[in-house]
């Protein structure tokens, strides 16, 4: 994979996804002592950057492949994105979901016209059920991140960011499976080779940081974090790209993630999900190292249950430092 | 007053306030059957359009006036805006606040360096205390809306909107005291004379709608609405401008205001306060009348207590229609 895959994705999906704005916040800049440029993928269709990769994957299929539809197992933003991308192309989508998945997420996927197939809430059951679905329908499995078309699609967010904002010293994304990070790394290596690519990860799901240190993929086991988009292990395709281009993966505590999330809501007046707040949390931890820098951050998504905000409850104490 | 006052304000405050983005949302457009352009004053400094008027008022003062400082009575966004504008000019600000005002609002005003003077929570006490402060300090009283410089400053939001978005059929603002509405009306009458200016107001504080119908100002008595920025009566300077240029004032229930607020949070991923949601609520009520139109809405602010969201509690039932 290389930059040309991302360029091709940008052409393919250009009319199908939003070109999201880049916002800045002088209050946050003053607090951290640098200039931060936030690429607002929380404003993307389905509320997350996942729409980019899913759209690229779906619109890369041949007519013959597309006719059979697409399938995935996910209860998160990828499922919604794949369902909507399939709807845009007018083809079937099959989404395997654990029985316990939140009603609101099931409703969103069903609302885009996808067929939901229930399974038991284990990885083994998910994979077995997906295999059955693929066998039955002939649908093309679109992995949420370990897929070249997905990586190329996610990279288009950084492409837009770097086209709009010049002279960035650092480009940051959160890291879960590594789709957004790998795509961002490919783009930055070509368009801003002097900039560092840095990822941020919750301490309770720090498999990517440990993998980068070890030089091989260390799977995520029993992750525990409020950033529920970042629980997965790194993909096989993603890891070599990350190893080649990513300078560092910084880990942050859930308390700091929630404080950064709340700071963003309060000062920027935008809604981001916990997984999107890890980069700002890491920036605040590393403000001495980054002092005076121009930092681009990709805000990955904004899907939050507004009836159950994560700072309701016993976290107030930890949020006073902001 | 006329359009040239707003143009002068735009020049005066151009480098001191944010040029806020105009956002659109295809999900909302599809739902209401028109194109809606949201001018995001929730992203403005201090989180509200009030920064525009306050900055224009403060920076219009002569050196001699400015040296004595500015004063107001307010516990809302105007107080914060005046405090910050005064700080930017390096002059004192005195803010009279009722003792019961929320701690977070007092802290924000004090954080900008203003001196807070407590008073009893009655209009009489507020005015008496303000008079004492003005007498003691010589500070210039800056009324929150019944002031030409304030009106001209607030009009700069519509000026930016109309410069950026062409061919609007309707321009909408919420109405409380009428500063934003009067400024918007002056701008629209000149730059888009074919467009209608329509205001939206809570049913529980519908004094502006009744005033427009009666042809004279009917004061707001015991207003009761979740839109706490819209409780005040129309200003004397504001009313004639509104009478001349505003086609209609539509009223909406609090339930519909909260539903529109939540829809904005969920689909646009931006934080707006209840007072900002009245226009979208009114648009949803009048979707047949506005079908196919291009509608500009000024989102007035985004200051919300994130620990106490207005839909927490018993309102869920009323929010299902969205």
Express each pLDDT in A257-277 by its tens digit: 999 999 999 999 999 999 999
Dump the DSSP string for A261-295: HHHIIIII-B---GGGSHHHHHHHHTHHHHTT-EE
**Which residues, listed in sequence order, are joined to residue B116 by a DSSP beta bridge?**
B95
- Tell me which H or E stretch contains A196: strand A196-202
Over the stretch A105-136, which tens digit does the pLDDT of each residue have? 899 899 999 999 999 988 899 999 999 999 99
So what's the pLDDT on residue A69? 98
Q: What is the pLDDT of residue A75?
A: 77
Indicate the residue of A269, A312, A316 with minimum beta-carbon distance to B271: A269
pLDDT of amino acid A322: 32
How far apart are the C-alpha atoms of B1 and B223, rounded to whole Å? 29
Among the listed residues B60, B211, B276, B300, the single catalytic one is: B300
Per-residue confidence (pLDDT) for residue A314, from 0 to 100? 45
Q: How many CA atoms lie within 13 A of A36 on its CB side?
A: 28
Rounded to a whole number, what is the distance in Å from the CA of B145 to chain A's nearest CA? 24
Task: Decide: residue B16, CB within 10 A, 0-12 exposed, 13-18 middle, 19+ buried.
Answer: middle
DSSP state of A306: T
What pLDDT is stored for residue A316 in this prediction? Answer: 42
pLDDT of res. B306: 92
pLDDT > 90 in chain A, percent: 89
- List the alpha helices (DSSP H) in A90-198: 103-111, 123-137, 148-164, 179-191
Distance (Å) from the alpha carbon of A306 to chain B's nearest alpha carbon = 8
What is the ipTM metric for this complex?
0.91
Q: How far is A30 from chain B (nearest CA, A)?
A: 14
Element (H, E) at A259: helix A254-263
Q: For this structure, is B220 an active site residue?
A: no
Answer positive or negative: Cα dihedral of A148, A153, A155, A156. positive
Give B123-147 as a 3 state SS string.
HHHHHHHHHHHHHHHCCEECCCCCC
pLDDT tens for A136-174 read 999 999 999 999 999 999 999 999 999 999 999 999 999
Nearest-angstrom CA–CA distance, B207 and A250? 55
Dist. CA A73–CA B262, nearest whole Å:
30
Inter-chain residue contact B43 with A268, CB threshold 8 Å: yes
What are the beta bridge partners of residue B237? none
Domains and CATH numbers, chain B: 3-48+147-319 (3.40.50.1100), 51-141 (3.40.50.1100)
Residue with tokens 């099931």: A106
Chain A interface residues (partner B, CB cutoff 8 A): 21, 23, 26, 40, 42-43, 45, 47, 262, 265-266, 268-272, 302, 306-307, 309, 311-312, 316
Helical spans, DSSP H, in A14-113 = 26-32, 50-60, 63-68, 77-89, 103-111
Q: Give me the catalytic one of B45, B50, B105, B256.
A: B50
Per-residue pLDDT tens digits of chain B, which is 322 residues long: 999 999 999 999 999 999 999 999 999 999 999 999 999 999 999 999 999 999 999 999 999 999 999 999 987 899 999 999 999 999 999 999 998 888 888 998 999 999 999 999 888 999 999 999 999 999 999 999 999 999 999 999 999 999 999 999 999 999 999 999 999 999 999 999 999 999 999 999 999 999 999 999 999 999 999 999 999 999 999 999 999 999 999 999 999 999 999 999 999 999 999 999 999 999 999 999 999 999 999 999 999 989 889 887 544 444 433 3
- With contacts defined as CB-CB under 8 Å, which chain A residues touch B26? 45
Question: Element (H or E) spanning A243, and its range?
Answer: helix A238-245
Nearest CA in chain A to B269: A271
pLDDT above 50 (res A315):
no
How far apart CA B137 and CA B132 sit, in angstroms, is: 9
Q: What is the DSSP string of B94-132?
A: EEEEETTS-HHHHHHHHHTTPEEEEE-SSHHHHHHHHHH
Chain B residues touching chain A at CB-CB below 8 Å = 21, 23, 26, 40, 42-43, 45, 47, 262, 265-266, 268-272, 302, 306-307, 309, 311-312, 316
* A265 closest CB neighbour out of B268, B306, B311: B306
pLDDT of residue A104: 81
CB-CB: which of A26, A269, A309 is closest to B42? Answer: A269
Q: Give me the helices (H) in chain B, please.
A: 3-13, 26-32, 50-60, 63-68, 77-89, 103-111, 123-137, 148-164, 179-191, 207-214, 238-245, 254-263, 274-285, 287-290
**A271–B265 CB contact, under 8 Å:** yes
User: How many Cβ atoms are within 10 Å of A108's Cβ, its own excluded?
Assistant: 19
Q: Please identify which residue in the block is written with the tokens 């997350």.
A: A48
Q: What is the average per-residue pLDDT within A287-298?
A: 98
Q: Which residues of A165-176 are buried (b: 16+ CB within 10 A; e: fewer)?
A: beebbbbbbbbb
Is residue B300 flagged as an active site residue? yes
Residues of chain B contacting residue A51, judged by C-beta atoms under 8 Å apart: none
What pTM did the predictor assign?
0.93
B221/B229 Cα distance (integer angstroms): 15
pLDDT category, A320, cuts 50, 70, 90? very low
What are the beta bridge partners of residue A198? Answer: A172, A248
Q: Find, among B169, B258, B167, B243, the residue nearest to B209 by Cα.
A: B243
Give the number of beta-carbon pairs within 8 Å between A and B: 48
B237/chain A closest Cα distance in angstroms = 32
Closest by Cα among B179, B194, B165, B172 to B239: B179
Structure-token match 């009458």, residue found: B189
pLDDT attached to residue A311: 84
Q: Which residues of A does the annotation mark as catalytic? A: 50, 300
3-state secondary structure of B56: helix
Instruction: Please give the structure tokens belonging to residue A50.
Output: 């996942």
- A266 neighbourhood in chain B, CB within 8 Å: 306
Q: Dihedral sign for Cα A125, A127, A131, A134, please.
A: positive
Pick among A269, A276, A299, A307 to test the B interface (most B CBs inside 10 A):
A269
């Amino acid at each position: 994979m290389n930059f040309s895959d991302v360029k091709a994705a940008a052409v393919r999906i250009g009319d199908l996804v939003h070109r999201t704005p880049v916002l800045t916040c002088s209050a946050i800049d003053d607090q951290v002592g640098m200039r931060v440029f936030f690429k607002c993928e929380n404003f993307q269709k389905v509320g997350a950057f996942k729409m980019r990769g899913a759209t690229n994957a779906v619109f890369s299929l041949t007519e013959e492949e597309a006719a059979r539809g697409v399938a995935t197992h996910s209860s998160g933003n990828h499922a919604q994105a794949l369902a909507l991308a399939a709807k845009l192309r007018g083809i079937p989508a099959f989404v395997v979901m654990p029985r316990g998945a939140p009603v609101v997420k099931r409703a969103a996927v069903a609302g885009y016209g996808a067929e939901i197939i229930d399974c038991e809430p284990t990885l083994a059951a998910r994979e077995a059920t997906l295999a059955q679905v693929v066998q039955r329908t002939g649908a093309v499995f679109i992995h949420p991140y370990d897929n070249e078309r997905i990586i190329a699609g996610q990279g288009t967010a950084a492409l837009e960011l770097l086209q709009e904002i010049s002279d960035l010293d650092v480009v940051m994304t959160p890291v879960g499976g590594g789709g957004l990070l790998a795509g961002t790394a490919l783009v930055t290596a070509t368009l801003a080779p002097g900039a560092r690519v840095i990822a941020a990860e919750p301490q309770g799901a720090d498999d990517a940081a440990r993998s980068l240190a070890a030089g091989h993929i260390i799977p995520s086991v029993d992750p525990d974090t409020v950033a529920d988009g970042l629980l997965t292990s790194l993909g096989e395709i993603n890891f070599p790209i990350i190893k080649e281009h990513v300078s560092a993966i910084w880990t942050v505590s859930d308390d700091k993630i929630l404080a950064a999330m709340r700071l963003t809501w309060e000062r920027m007046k935008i809604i981001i999900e916990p997984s999107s707040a890890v980069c700002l949390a890491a920036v605040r931890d590393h403000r001495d190292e980054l002092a005076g820098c121009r930092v681009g951050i990709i805000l990955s998504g904004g899907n939050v249950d507004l009836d159950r905000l994560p700072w309701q409850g016993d976290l107030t104490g930890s949020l006073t430092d902001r």
